[in-house]
């Protein structure tokens, strides 16, 4: 058994090391790796130019649906690194590294031995790198802030001295991606459920007041933030039970080491631990409840919410409960290679795939560079930006329509711009594309075949013709398709 464990650990270490190598290769790739990488990039570019990307007069240009904090953090990275796409990935990489360090620290502080803590951190890292956070996204910063708040809150007995600085971090996480404020209310609920009713209510009221103040402050600084960020979230509320089942199955296969370690830990839990779980166990249960009732059925994302709201807390709780016991560590070690094998098809294991994808995007970049006025769908938006052209389809602009369709909650209605203003801004965006296509002002249009976005396909087909196709691949997202090259009819 000892030799088998060592072999499993070597396989796991090699797989995780290769994953980091692939990730590093992806970070420096000049080619887009995810459909919506342009949106936070354009927000950062607006900040660099001294513009407010959430100004009402320019919505939705430059505004992304995550929030302003990650693009602000990325400003010095973009100032230092010439390629803005690479710079923003580097910023995310730094934050993800910090999040991994905080997670490992929390595992160890909860009593985990070195091996389970490393395996748990490796599992979380693999999930964050592949499923949710390796590209131009705010996840790394949000995770670092969220877990940092948990570290501050749990460093001693629950008190205002720990809760208030933790709340500050959680509110900053909210400004990064709104649902990362979740631990603030979990902490208040946990205090309440452990019998400290008055303190729990006070913590909850303080968290609510802090959240309200943060929303007002963000609105004052960024007037378009409520409809773009909150409005888009409210307007795309979806719950698909079949998607929840599929995600749960995929997460369970990927998380076999976590599940195996949890099963091995269960006999060690005392009756008191069953009745009053620790903070991280309670947070994992709350995360599972949030997934089961709402976010897990949102078919706009796959695995993202699982690795944000469930896995980190469950890993800390499980490894901490395991302590120095050999059974959970053995279960994790033996199951990790099985998980790697079962999930291998999700990962871009060939490093050469990045060079091949970059060659295809180089062709697209040449076409854009030679054009007098190009237009393209979201996967080409970073290339448009790099060539100095507007990118009206940036991956988030199409969500702006949700801000118009959804009525704001009454308690937040005073923060919202008028519906007439929002409609005028949406019409301005749409008309610039429609009128340009109708007048054949664009001499090049590159589109994906998916049929969603801002470019009206029937109008495009009436005024333009397909003159060729271009292979497009995004290795990290395991996506490949044939893009269409359009030219005006009569050319």
In a domain, 47, yes or no: no
- The answer to whether residues 268 and 360 belong to one domain is no
- The answer to whether residues 299 and 448 belong to one domain is no
- The answer to whether residues 415 and 299 belong to one domain is no
Residue 301 DSSP label: -
Rounded to 10°, the helix 311-322/256-265 angle is 40
- For residue 185, the model assigns a pLDDT of 97
- For residue 276, the model assigns a pLDDT of 54
Nearest to 301 by CA among 232, 378, 231, 247: 247
Nearest to 168 by CA among 109, 132, 217, 110: 217
Q: Is the CA virtual torsion 174, 176, 179, 182 positive or negative?
A: negative
- The answer to whether residues 397 and 314 belong to one domain is no
In a domain, 53, yes or no: no
In a domain, 269, yes or no: yes
In a domain, 54, yes or no: no
H helix intervals, 81-231: 84-109, 114-127, 139-153, 160-176, 182-193, 197-221, 225
List the pLDDT tens digit at each of the 491 positions of the chain: 688 889 999 999 999 999 899 899 999 998 888 888 889 999 999 999 899 999 998 888 888 999 999 999 999 999 999 889 999 999 999 999 999 999 999 999 999 999 999 999 999 999 998 877 788 999 999 999 999 999 999 998 999 999 999 999 999 999 999 999 999 999 999 999 998 999 999 999 999 999 999 999 999 999 999 999 988 777 666 778 888 899 999 999 999 999 999 999 887 665 444 455 799 999 999 999 999 998 887 777 778 899 999 999 999 999 999 888 888 899 999 999 999 999 888 778 888 888 888 998 999 999 999 999 999 998 999 999 889 898 888 878 777 776 677 778 888 889 999 888 888 888 888 888 999 999 999 999 999 988 667 899 999 999 999 999 999 988 887 788 999 999 999 86
Q: What are phi and psi of 487, to 5 degrees?
A: -130, 155
Q: Which of 297, 316, 346 is the last residue of a domain?
A: 346
Q: Is the CA virtual torsion 129, 131, 132, 134 positive or negative?
A: positive
Measured CA to CA, the distance from residue 426 to residue 398 in angstroms comes to 9
**From residue 339, how far is each of 18, 180, 228, 264, 333 by CA, in Å?**
16, 27, 38, 17, 10
Task: Please count the structural domains in the chain.
Answer: 2
- The answer to whether residues 331 and 399 belong to one domain is no
How many CA atoms within 13 Å lie on the side-chain side of 150? 32
Characterize the bridge pairing of strands 444-447 and 479-488: antiparallel
- The answer to whether residues 331 and 360 belong to one domain is no
CA-CA-CA-CA dihedral for 51, 397, 41, 443, to nearest 10 = -100
- For residue 406, the model assigns a pLDDT of 72
Q: What are phi and psi of 380, to 5 degrees?
A: -100, 0
In a domain, 374, yes or no: yes
**From residue 102, how far is each of 124, 147, 239, 287 by CA, in Å?**
12, 7, 32, 19
Q: Which residues contact 361 (CB under 8 A, 6 or more apart)?
A: 30, 31, 32, 383, 472
In a domain, 52, yes or no: no
- For residue 295, the model assigns a pLDDT of 84
Measured CA to CA, the distance from residue 288 to residue 275 in angstroms comes to 18
- The answer to whether residues 324 and 407 belong to one domain is no
Measured CA to CA, the distance from residue 281 to residue 293 in angstroms comes to 18
End-to-end CA distance of the chain: 71
- For residue 59, the model assigns a pLDDT of 86
Domain that holds residue 421: 352-488
Say what the pTM is: 0.93
Other residues' Cβ atoms within 10 Å of the Cβ of residue 313: 27
Q: Which of 313, 346, 379 is the last residue of a domain?
A: 346
Q: Which residues contact 215 (CB under 8 A, 6 or more apart)?
A: 226, 230, 412, 415
- For residue 272, the model assigns a pLDDT of 42
CA-CA-CA-CA dihedral for 225, 229, 232, 234, to nearest 10 = -100
- For residue 491, the model assigns a pLDDT of 66
- The answer to whether residues 201 and 333 belong to one domain is yes
Q: Provide the CA 170 distance to its chain's centre, in angstroms.
A: 16
- The answer to whether residues 300 and 446 belong to one domain is no
- The answer to whether residues 342 and 387 belong to one domain is no
- The answer to whether residues 429 and 319 belong to one domain is no
Q: Is 149 in contact with 167 (CB distance < 8 Å)?
A: yes
Other residues' Cβ atoms within 10 Å of the Cβ of residue 33: 24
Q: Which of 330, 346, 362 is the last residue of a domain?
A: 346
**From residue 345, how far is each of 297, 349, 477 by CA, in Å?**
23, 9, 12
- The answer to whether residues 333 and 365 belong to one domain is no
In a domain, 220, yes or no: yes
In a domain, 228, yes or no: yes
């Amino acid at each position: 058994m000892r030799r088998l464990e060592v072999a499993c650990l070597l396989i796991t270490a090699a797989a995780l090391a290769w994953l980091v190598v692939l990730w590093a290769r992806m970070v420096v790739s000049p080619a887009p790796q995810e459909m919506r990488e342009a949106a936070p990039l354009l927000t950062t570019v607006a900040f660099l130019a001294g513009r407010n990307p959430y100004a009402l007069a320019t919505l939705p240009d430059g505004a992304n649906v995550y929030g302003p904090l990650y693009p602000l953090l990325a400003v010095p990275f973009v100032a230092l690194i010439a390629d803005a796409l690479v710079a923003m990935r580097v910023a995310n990489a730094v934050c993800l590294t910090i999040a991994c360090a905080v997670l490992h620290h929390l595992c160890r502080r909860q009593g985990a031995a070195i091996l389970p803590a490393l395996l748990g951190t490796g599992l979380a890292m693999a999930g964050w790198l592949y499923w949710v956070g390796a590209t131009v996204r705010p996840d790394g910063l949000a995770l670092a802030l969220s877990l940092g708040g948990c570290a501050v809150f749990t460093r001693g007995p629950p008190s205002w001295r720990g809760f208030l600085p933790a709340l500050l971090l959680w509110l900053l996480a909210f400004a990064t991606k709104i649902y990362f404020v979740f631990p603030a209310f979990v902490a208040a609920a946990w205090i309440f459920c452990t019998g400290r009713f008055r303190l729990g209510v006070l913590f909850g009221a303080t968290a609510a007041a802090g959240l309200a103040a943060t929303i007002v402050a963000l609105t004052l600084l960024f007037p378009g933030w409520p409809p773009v960020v909150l409005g888009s979230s409210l307007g795309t509320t979806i719950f698909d039970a079949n998607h929840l089942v599929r995600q749960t199955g995929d997460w369970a296969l990927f998380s076999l080491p976590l599940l195996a370690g949890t099963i091995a830990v269960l006999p060690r839990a005392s009756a008191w631990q069953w009745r009053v779980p620790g903070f991280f166990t309670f947070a994992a249960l709350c995360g599972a409840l949030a997934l089961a009732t709402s976010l897990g059925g949102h078919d706009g994302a796959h695995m993202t919410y699982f690795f944000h709201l469930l896995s980190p807390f469950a890993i800390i709780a499980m490894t901490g409960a395991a302590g120095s016991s050999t059974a959970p560590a053995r279960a994790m070690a033996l199951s990790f290679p099985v998980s790697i094998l079962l999930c291998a098809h999700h990962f871009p294991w060939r490093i050469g795939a990045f060079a091949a994808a970059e060659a295809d995007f180089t062709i697209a970049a040449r076409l854009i560079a030679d054009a007098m006025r190009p237009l393209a769908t979201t996967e080409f938006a970073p290339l448009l930006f790099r060539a100095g052209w507007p990118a009206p389809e940036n991956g988030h602009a199409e969500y702006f329509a949700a801000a118009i369709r959804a009525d704001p909650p009454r308690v937040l209605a005073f923060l919202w711009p008028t519906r007439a203003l929002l409609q005028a801004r949406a019409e301005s965006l749409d008309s610039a594309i429609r009128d340009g296509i109708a007048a054949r002002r664009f001499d090049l249009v590159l589109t994906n075949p998916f049929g969603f976005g801002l470019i009206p396909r029937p109008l495009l087909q009436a005024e333009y013709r397909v003159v060729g196709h271009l292979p497009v691949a995004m290795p990290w997202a395991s996506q490949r398709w044939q893009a269409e090259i359009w030219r005006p009819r009569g050319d």
